[in-house]
Amino acid sequence: MSRNNSVGSDGFVSHRRAAAAGFTPGGLDPRGMSLDEFTKHLDVGLRKQHEQSAAWDFEGLVAFLDGVAKANPHQHITGSVGNPELLRLALQIYQEDPASREAFLEYATTSDLMRPEIARHFFQLSINAMVHWLQTHIPLSSTPGDFSQADDRLNLVRLAFQSGHTGTNELLEEAYRCVALENQLHGVAEVWFRTTLGDHDAESFERATRSAIRGASRAEADGGSPLNVRFVVGMRKMWQYTASATQTGMPVDAQALGLVTMLGRLRDGDAQTAGMILGVDSVGTDTGWRPEWQAPARTMAASQGMHVAMHFGEAWRPGELPATLLRLETLVRTGDIRQLDNSNAIFAIRDTTNPVQAYSDDEWNEIGVLQVSVFGLLIGRGIGLGINPTSNDWLTRSLRQREGWRLRHHNQPVTPGDASVI
């Protein structure tokens, strides 16, 4: 398998076209350059441009990045689970696994999606009727602002993915195969799955992970163009709506340490599996979560050479932006992380055009100080910052309206002299 034209776990990067003016490291061939070198040269180019001009050549930067092979370092399979074939496989699991079925019905009824009298007979319906019910109740093509609700609704299928039942193997293999192929069709040379495989209990984790890897490998082998697939396995921040009773109530630290141990064991096995398991991530809501939690697991993963990514500060309860930034600062200061994703909290700036203002002048000052501090720590520690502009926009739309802020433009510096947001 070719490793050319990819930003990969092996740390090499190359690009096809000559870089745009301002971003070209003079006389250097970026092919075969390590990821660290690439980042450094990009940063130097951006700083030079920042010094020379008050207005940024943002288009030049985009043109430069266009020359780099397409990599997708942030792929969740959840957006693709509305496929009827996958829904059929999920329903089969509910039919055969009482624990998952109960969790599904409990979620559906407590979320007011299904009346209790329907729930009692739901699994006596025809398979097509059940698939249809799922398709109507998972609003995949949601409008902006309903993003978190849409994500919550995916519990209707997520519970099947989390099941320890053997039918889950087929579901996982098919799901990861489909999404890997979708990436390949879009010309992606490398995809990193932000996966919830870590939701599986010790008994089913290895089987489930091998199924997902098998599905992705089949896509790598069957597809027309070279594709590298990597897995970044999520440690669940809080346990809600899990199919496995053993997971409920287990301290998140112990759960996360167990996950890292299992990943280490898998990486000690065959070389192909080892190459595909890139590291760990975090998944789930931030509400009520403390950055100190799972710190031992993040440290252990880093010490084993795993990539440690985090989702944090995506959304918060109204009024909690300063508190979220405080926790983020703790996380970045004390955590062993290499990459921070979807951290909308550091891009929030006051929108004076909004009549609703959740924060006072003093609070906005505090927010600004914390953002500068976090950004400085990210730069100082070389922690990559991942943004997903469309989903971040959707995810925060209703929160922005309720709190009176907007997302900082990505070419607008957070601190004077720190040109790079990439």
Stretch that binds Zn ion, among 63-71, 96-104, 186-194, 238-246 (CB under 5 A): 186-194
Give least dist CB 311 to Zn ion, A: 5
Nearer to Zn ion, 72 or 109 (CB): 72
Min CB(251)–Zn ion separation in Å: 24
Task: Give the interface segment with Zn ion, choosing from 21-29, 41-49, 187-195, 269-277 (CB under 5 A).
Answer: 187-195
Q: Which stretch binds Zn ion (CB under 5 A): 89-97, 145-153, 191-199, 393-401?
A: 191-199
> Nearest residue by C-beta to Zn ion?
194
What is the DSSP secondary structure assignment for residue 122, as one 8-state letter? G
Number of neighbouring beta carbons within 10 Å of residue 351: 15
121: tokens are 């007979």
Percent of residues in the chain assigned helix, strand, coil, to nearest 5:
50, 10, 35
Q: Please, which of residues 64-83 interact with Zn ion by CB under 5 A?
A: none
Q: How far is the CB of 64 from Zn ion (least distance, A)?
A: 25
Binding segment toward Zn ion, per CB under 5 A, in 21-29, 41-49, 122-130, 190-198: 190-198
Where helices occur in 223-360 by DSSP H, the ranges are 252-267, 271-276, 295-303, 321-334
Q: What is the 3-state secondary structure (H, E, C) of 258-278?
A: HHHHHHHHHHCCCHHHHHHEE
Q: Rounded to 5 degrees, what angle do the CA atoms 210, 216, 220 make?
A: 135
To 10 degrees, the CA torsion angle through 158, 160, 164, 170?
-110
Per CB under 5 A, which region of 178-186, 193-201, 332-340, 405-413 contacts Zn ion? Answer: 193-201
Least distance (Å) from Zn ion to the CB of residue 373? 24
105 or 154, CB closer to Zn ion?
Answer: 154
The distance of closest approach from Cβ of residue 32 to Zn ion in the complex, given in angstroms and rounded to an integer, is 30
Q: Which is nearer to Zn ion, 9 or 282 (CB)?
A: 282
Site string for Zn ion, 194-213 (x = CB under 5 A): x-------------------
Angstrom distance (rounded) from CA 26 to CA 28? 6
Q: Smaller CB distance to Zn ion: residue 37 or 146?
A: 146
* Cα distance between residue 127 and residue 291, in whole Å: 43
The residue among 341 and 403 lying less far from Zn ion, judged by its C-beta, is 341
If the CB atoms of residues 177 and 194 are measured against Zn ion, the closer one turns out to be 194
Strand-pair partners of 361 = none
- For 282, the enclosing helix (H) or strand (E) is strand 277-283
Shortest Å, Cβ 164 to Zn ion: 24
Is the Cβ of residue 244 or residue 282 nearer to Zn ion in the bound state?
282
Q: Between residues 181 and 283, which has the closer beta carbon with respect to Zn ion?
A: 283
Q: Which of 77, 95, 102, 313 is nearest to 191 (CA)?
A: 77
Distance (Å, whole) CA 338 – CA 144: 30
CB of 197 to Zn ion, least distance (A): 14
Edge-to-edge strands, sheet with 339-341: 71-75, 190-195, 228-236, 277-283, 307-311, 339-341, 384-386
**Minimum Å distance from CB 173 to Zn ion?**
22
| CB nearer Zn ion, residue 61 or residue 283 | 283
- Write down the least CB distance from residue 174 to Zn ion, Å: 21
Tokens of 391: 């989903």
* C-beta separation of 50 from 419 below 8 A: yes
How many residues form the binding site for Zn ion (CB under 5 A)? 1
Residues near Zn ion (CB under 5 A) are 194
